[in-house]
Amino acid sequence: RSALRSPARLALGSFALVILLFAGLLSLPFATADGHRAPFIDALFTATSAVCVTGLTTVDTGTYWSGWGLAIIATGIKVGGLGIMTLASLIGLAVSRRLGLTQRLLAAGEARASGLGDLRSLLRTVLVVSFSVEIAIALILIPRFLTLDYGWGRSIGYSVFYGVSAFNNAGFSPDPVGLYPYSHDFWILVPLGLGVLVGALGYPVYLNLVRNWRRPRTWSLHTRLTLVMVGALMVISAVLLAIFEWSNPATLGAHSTADTIGNIFFQSINQRSGGFASFDIGDAREQTWLLEDVLMFIGGGSGSTAGGIRVTTVAVLLLAIMAEARGRRDMEAFGKRVGTEVLRGAVAVTMIGIAIIVVGTTVFMAQTDIPLDRSLYEVISAYATCGLTTGITSDLPDDAKITLIVMMYVGRVGSMTIAAALALNKQRRVIRYPSERPLIG
Amino acid sequence: RSALRSPARLALGSFALVILLFAGLLSLPFATADGHRAPFIDALFTATSAVCVTGLTTVDTGTYWSGWGLAIIATGIKVGGLGIMTLASLIGLAVSRRLGLTQRLLAAGEARASGLGDLRSLLRTVLVVSFSVEIAIALILIPRFLTLDYGWGRSIGYSVFYGVSAFNNAGFSPDPVGLYPYSHDFWILVPLGLGVLVGALGYPVYLNLVRNWRRPRTWSLHTRLTLVMVGALMVISAVLLAIFEWSNPATLGAHSTADTIGNIFFQSINQRSGGFASFDIGDAREQTWLLEDVLMFIGGGSGSTAGGIRVTTVAVLLLAIMAEARGRRDMEAFGKRVGTEVLRGAVAVTMIGIAIIVVGTTVFMAQTDIPLDRSLYEVISAYATCGLTTGITSDLPDDAKITLIVMMYVGRVGSMTIAAALALNKQRRVIRYPSERPLIG
Ligand SMILES: [K+]
Ligand SMILES: [K+]
């Protein structure tokens, strides 16, 4: 059992070490644009944000750090993103094997259907998909930056940075003012949006898509639920964003119709986890913040660099509600039954997430006196490693920065660990108590 | 099946009719202190708040309404409270019978253990407990109001009003400035607090306590979970309130230590559903509002006049998390097993509640431009029929008042109906799909 739990402990320890390493690198004088040593709290914050692929920043990435600093941040994102996906793969494999050993008779074909078989082909898929998408994004962006007269060095550097940042859902931008100048530039927004979208799907989906692209009928339940949820959430959030922000001159109201629609979809993709912003969220309406609070909390796909409680967790909760409403014995989707033990896991992940966010927001508000709207947005953004902000991150006191660092670390590594522990820790008991039904609701 | 569902439809229709009736009565000129006809929106709001035992008010109860108006409000509270408890009893009985018919073999002794047997003794218990507690509170308060020189008429009127308002968790006060003048007066706070506490337990607990007061071992799982949760939430909220507000001169900071502790416990009891406030919530810190958001949402006991998703619903979610963490096959408490179908119901009630509050808050913020902190507090207070407010209710535009009216009605009748529908609507299917396990978290 200790061997099965080791991926979780490995995640906790290795992420802490890697974060400290990158904080050390960012503390070196040549990492900043003006050659001064960055305050350790800002170096630690930026390193945590990079390695946990969050994207929140206490200093302006494009102006504060030197070219070396940007390279360190991009490396941190790449190392963090790979670490997340490979550890998630390891955990997934451990779960799959464990199920194979003890539950083969109960759930025949489960491990096979989920497409997890051997470690090497799994890691190969993760590496091939991530590098391919990152390089593809960079190759599309380089000519665009050249036409904007950025010169070869900066064009290549920015393009690689954006490729890594997009696929890993990191939300960091090397541009001094972020993506705002490109809000009319679909040559840049489209590849970034697609990169974020693909990056948020997760390795179990890549395995299905890479191996059985032309045979959707063979796709696993996990792949189908992920794709349906990602699509549905994108459409729902686009419609609601249009309702809330179309008439807001500070955000989308100033654009042409085509640009507004483009920015709405870019934001719809990014608000669950990507973290790129093509307009200033701080100027958006309160309704938009609340909508994005919910979407950030839901997050992306399991086994991806996206954060949140994951779309399949929410799908399982929805299946439970649908089964209740229809009075069915089983939770069902796409001709498959979802066991009640999965629902229990989903409840645990969701409720622990809500509890951490409530506690984190309470501490954050006590430290900063910032009202609930912006505090909740910031804390959820950190916990769900989304990286969008209403613009308060750079003015925070140090203790509030530490709160966000903890939220980023817990949101990233903690939820992996919890999910792993929940999935692996299955005891069997012989004695069962008599059943009794409390009233609810 | 239609007969089994009728309590739910009965609740929906009868509550709407009773609300309209009391709105009509409050629209009569003699209902207001100055003899003018109250605007219908305020009459409707007050009637909804009274019949749904919420306690939110758009006008100051103590100064706006005449003695007749107060009598109408108290009658509305009593009718609403009795309606809730008897309908909840009917639904509980229907569930119990339905289970008795189809699941006797699966869960032998369940209906017996929950203490629901025949309708008459059940309704008798509800009537006896409610009138006894209300009269007891009134008898304790009358001498106190006499010593405060309120005169016999007002002393009796106020005492009866407070008795009804306390037991039914209505939170209405006949005093012109509410309970603030009594924040040092334990002769008034203690009976009101105890009345709210008892009123929030619910009829299944009364049945156990009335029949088997001296034999706690025979109490049902529902009674035990309710009592443990109510006690635990009271202690937790008292500790957190002390941490957040002890140093706030606008709320508890000005009191003596004894008064502060008394007010903390009074608030701890009332913030889940009672709705009485001995200090101005509008002056409390943001952390306190967020804490109370959570506690109001949790609410009181099933089959009581308290609102929220109910403490046993949260208990079931906690049991699921504990079972997951320990890797147990079953959710267990007090030597009993809780079936997974109960967890599914708890998930449905909780998630539907969260969804309604998010939608309601979004609409409310669009209508009022009030920030998230106060908007969320107000909407949760309406949905959970708690009645506490940060002080914005009286200045709302009419469309936002309608939003709150809908939230009160849906929060009160809707959740009963949903719970009934979920509990009754159990089909059996012969075909089961093959099981497949999506990844979560
Ligand atoms: K991110
Ligand atoms: K109330």
Q: Is residue A385 a part of any domain in this protein?
A: yes
Which residues in chain B have their CB less than 8 angstroms from residue A437's CB? 99, 107, 110, 114, 221-222, 338-339, 342
Distance CA B270, CA A439 (A): 22
pLDDT at A368: 93
* pLDDT at residue A42, rounded to an integer: 93
Distance from C-alpha of B192 to C-alpha of B145, rounded to nearest angstrom:
14
CA of A168 to the centre of ligand 1 (A): 8
Q: Report the residue from A221, A315, A441 with minimal CB separation from B313.
A: A441
Write out chain B residues lying below 8 Å of A87, CB-based.
Answer: none
Q: Which residue has the tokens 């309608």?
A: B402
Average pLDDT of the residues in B204-220: 81
What pLDDT, on a 0 to 100 scale, did the predictor assign at position A422? Answer: 62
Packing angle between helix B340-368 and helix A311-326, nearest 10 degrees? 110
The answer to whether residue A425 scores a pLDDT higher than 60 is no
Q: Do A337 and B432 touch (CB under 8 A)?
A: yes
**Which of the residues B114, B244, B437 would you substitute to probe the A interface, choosing the one with the greatest number of A C-beta atoms within 10 Å?**
B437
Q: Is residue A238 part of a domain?
A: yes
Mean local confidence (pLDDT), A182-197: 86
SS3 labels along B269-312: HHHHHHCCCCCCHHHCCHHHHHHHHHHHHHCCCCCCCCCCCCHH
Whether A344 and B340 lie within 8 Å, measured CB to CB: yes
State the burial class of residue B118 (Cβ atoms within 10 Å of its Cβ: 0-12, 13-18, 19+): exposed
Distance CA A332, CA B376 (A): 34
- How many other C-beta atoms can be found within 10 angstroms of the C-beta atom of residue A270? 29
Ligand closest in space to the Cα of A408? 1
How far does CA A267 lie from the centroid of its chain? 14
**With a CB-CB cutoff of 8 Å, which residues 199-258 of chain A face chain B?**
202, 204, 220-222, 225, 244
The closest alpha carbon to B49, from B28, B69, B22, B27, belongs to: B22
Q: How far is Cα B441 from Cα A11, in angstroms, rounded to an integer? A: 15
User: Contact A438/B222, CB-based, under 8 Å?
Assistant: yes
pLDDT exceeds cutoff 70 at B302: yes
Type of residue at B75: T
C-alpha distances out from residue B178 to A148, B60, B171, B440, Å: 66, 9, 10, 49
For A327, the closest of B287, B427, B437 (CB atoms) is: B427
Select the more confidently predicted residue: A14 or A295. A295
Kindly give, in sequence order, each residue whose CB lies less than 8 Å from that of residue B301, ignoring residues fewer than 6 positions away.
B200, B201, B202, B204, B205, B226, B230, B310, B311, B312
> Considering only CB atoms, which chain B residues are within 8 Å of A92?
439
Q: Which of A323, A418, A421 sits opposite B344 (nearest CB)?
A: A323
Nearest to B435 among A337, A347, A373 (CB): A337
> Quick check: B358 and A290 CB within 8 A?
yes
Please give the residue of chain A at the shortest CA–CA distance from B424: A327
Tell whether B310 is within 8 A of chain A (Cβ).
yes
From chain B, pick out residues whose CB is under 8 angstroms from the CB of A325.
348, 421-422, 425
Q: Please name the residues between 22 and 51 in chain B that touch chain A, using a CB distance below 8 Å.
A: none
Residue of B nearest to A437 (CA): B338
Give me the residue label for tokens 């208990």: B315
Query: In chain B, which residues have their Cβ closer than 8 Å to the Cβ of A288?
Result: none
Q: What is the mean pLDDT of residues A14-41?
A: 91
* Stretch B39-63: mean pLDDT: 91
- Cβ A325–B422 below 8 Å, yes or no? yes
The reply to whether residue A220 touches residue B436, judged by beta carbons under 8 angstroms, is: yes
CB within 8 Å of chain B, chain A residues 51-70 = none
Nearest Cα residue in chain A from B342 = A437
- With tokens 């009672």, the residue in question is B274
Segment B396-405 mean pLDDT: 93
The reply to whether residue B441 touches residue A427, judged by beta carbons under 8 angstroms, is no
Residue B426's pLDDT band, with cuts at 50, 70 and 90, is low
pLDDT at A108 over 70: no
Which residues in chain B touch residue A419, judged by CB atoms under 8 angstroms apart? Answer: 439-441
pLDDT at A1 over 80: no
Q: What is the least distance, in Å, from the CA of B2 to any CA of chain A?
A: 15
Check if the beta carbon of residue A268 is closer than 8 Å to that of residue A237: yes
pLDDT at A210: 80
Question: B143 pLDDT band (50/70/90 cuts)?
Answer: confident
Q: Which domain holds residue A320?
A: 2-424
CA distance A202 to A167: 11
User: Quick one: what percent of chain B has pLDDT higher than 70?
Assistant: 86
Residue B112, pLDDT > 50, answer no
CA dihedral B34, B39, B41, B45 (to 10 degrees): 10
- Using CA atoms, how far apart are residues A364 and B287, in angstroms rounded to an integer? 9
Amino acid at B301: G
- CA–CA separation, B278 vs A8, rounded Å? 48
Q: How far is the CA of A75 from the centre of ligand 1 (A)?
A: 15
User: Strand pairing partners for B32?
Assistant: B65
Whole-angstrom Cα distance, residue B48 to residue B66? 18
Residues of A in contact with B92 (CB under 8 A): 439
Please count the residue pairs, one from chain A and one from chain B, whose beta carbons lie less than 8 angstroms apart.
288
Supply the pLDDT for residue A114: 46
Residue of chain A nearest B420, judged by CA positions: A441
Between CA A58 and CA A38 the distance in angstroms is 11
Query: Rounded distance, CA A196 to CA A133, Å?
Result: 10
Residue A335 lies in a domain: yes
Residue A268 has pLDDT above 50, yes or no: yes
pLDDT score, position B337: 82
Q: How far is the CA of A50 from the centre of ligand 1 (A)?
A: 9
Which pLDDT score, from 0 to 100, does residue A406 have?
Answer: 93
| CB contact B99 to A (< 8 Å) | yes
User: Per-residue confidence at A424, pLDDT binned at 50, 70, 90?
Assistant: low
- The per-residue pLDDT for A407 is 94
Q: Is the pLDDT of residue A107 over 50?
A: no
How close, in Å, is residue B323 to chain A by CA atoms?
8
pLDDT band at B428 (very low <50, low <70, confident <90, very high): low
Mean pLDDT of A8-37: 88
**HSE-up (13 A, CA, CB side) for residue A114:** 29
Q: Encoding tokens for residue A419?
A: 């999910």
Say how many domains are in chain A. 1
How far apart (Å, rounded) are the C-alpha atoms in residues B341 and B326? 20
Q: Is residue B297 part of a domain?
A: yes
Ligand closest to the CA atom of residue A84: 1
Residues whose CB falls within 8 Å of the CB of residue B102, separated by 6 or more in sequence, listed in order: B426
> What pLDDT score was predicted for residue A292?
92
More confident residue, B145 or A119: B145
Q: Is A432 on the interface with B (CB under 8 A)?
A: yes
Q: Report how far residue B280's alpha carbon sits from residue B271's, in angstroms, rounded to the nearest whole number.
A: 13
B289·A323 Cβ contact <8 A: no
Token representation of residue A1: 């059992």
Could you read off the pLDDT of A348-399 as tens digits, one per residue? 889 999 999 999 999 999 999 899 999 999 999 999 989 888 888 888 999 9
Ranges A2-11, A177-186, A286-295, A339-348: which has the least confidence: A2-11
Task: Give the ligand whose atoms come closest to the C-alpha of residue A167.
Answer: 1
Answer yes or no: is pLDDT of B108 > 50: no
In this structure, of A22-26, A187-191, B77-81, the range with the lowest mean pLDDT score is: A187-191
Q: Which ligand is nearest to the CA of A56?
A: 1
Kindly tell me if the per-residue pLDDT of B203 is higher than 70: yes
Nearest to A33 by CA among A65, A7, A1, A80: A65
SS3 content of chain A, % helix, strand, coil (to 5): 70, 0, 30
On whether any CB of chain A is under 8 Å from the CB of B153, the answer is: no
The confidence score (pLDDT) of residue B148 equals 82
pLDDT of residue B420: 65
Query: Residue B441 falls within a domain, yes or no?
Result: no
Q: What region, left, alpha or beta, does residue B262 occupy, with left being phi > 0 and alpha being psi -120 to 50 degrees? A: alpha
Instruction: Judge: A428–B329 Cβ closer than 8 Å, yes or no.
Output: yes
Mean pLDDT of all residues in chain A?
83
Cβ–Cβ under 8 Å, residues A362 and B287: yes
Q: What's the pLDDT at B121? A: 75
Q: Cβ B365–A325 below 8 Å, yes or no? A: no
Report the percentage of chain A scoring pLDDT > 90: 33
Contact A50, A80 (CB under 8 A): yes
Which residue from B339, B226, B358 is spatially nearest to B293, judged by alpha carbons? B358
Q: What is the pLDDT of residue A276?
A: 87
Greater confidence, B343 or A10?
A: B343
Residue B223 counted as domain residue = yes
Verify whether the Cβ–Cβ distance A434 to B337 is below 8 Å: yes
N- to C-terminal Cα separation, chain A: 38
Tokens of B359: 């939608």
Q: Which of A226-230, A428-432, B325-329, B382-386 has the lowest mean pLDDT?
A: A428-432
pLDDT at position B232, please?
94
Burial code (b: 16+ CB inside 10 Å, e: under 16) for A271-303 equals bbbbbbbbbebeebbbbbbbbbbbbbbbbbbbb
pLDDT recorded at residue B110: 39
3-state secondary structure labels for all residues of chain B: CHHHHHHHHHHHHHHHHHHHHHHHHHCCHHHECCCCCCCHHHHHHHHHHHHCCCCCCCCCHHHHECHHHHHHHHHHHHHHHHHHHHHHHHHHHHHHHHHHHHCCCCCCCHHHHCCCCCHHHHHHHHHHHHHHHHHHHHHHHHHHHHHCCCHHHHHHHHHHHHHHHHHCCCCCCCCCCCCHHHCCCHHHHHHHHHHHHHHCCCHHHHHHHHHCCCCHHHCCHHHHHHHHHHHHHHHHHHHHHHHHHCCCCCCCCCCCHHHHHHHHHHHHHHHHHHCCCCCCHHHCCHHHHHHHHHHHHHCCCCCCCCCCCCHHHHHHHHHHHHHHHHCCCCEEECCEEECHHHHHHHHHHHHHHHHHHHHHHHHHHHHHCCCHHHHHHHHHHHHCCCCCCCCCHHHCCHHHHHHHHHHHHHHHHHHHHHHHHHHHCCCCCCCCCCECCCCCC
Asked if residue A185 has pLDDT above 60, the reply is: yes
Q: How far is CA A302 from the centre of its chain?
A: 9
Name beta bridge partners: B58. none
- Average the pLDDT over each of A128-137, A362-371, B313-322, B422-431 and give the range with the smallest value: B422-431
- What pLDDT, on a 0 to 100 scale, did the predictor assign at position A109? 39
Q: Across the interface, do B362 and A426 touch by the CB < 8 Å criterion?
A: no
Contacts of B421 in chain A (CB under 8 A): 325
User: Contacts of residue A328 in chain B, CB cutoff 8 Å?
Assistant: 427, 429
Give the mean pLDDT of B176-199.
Answer: 84
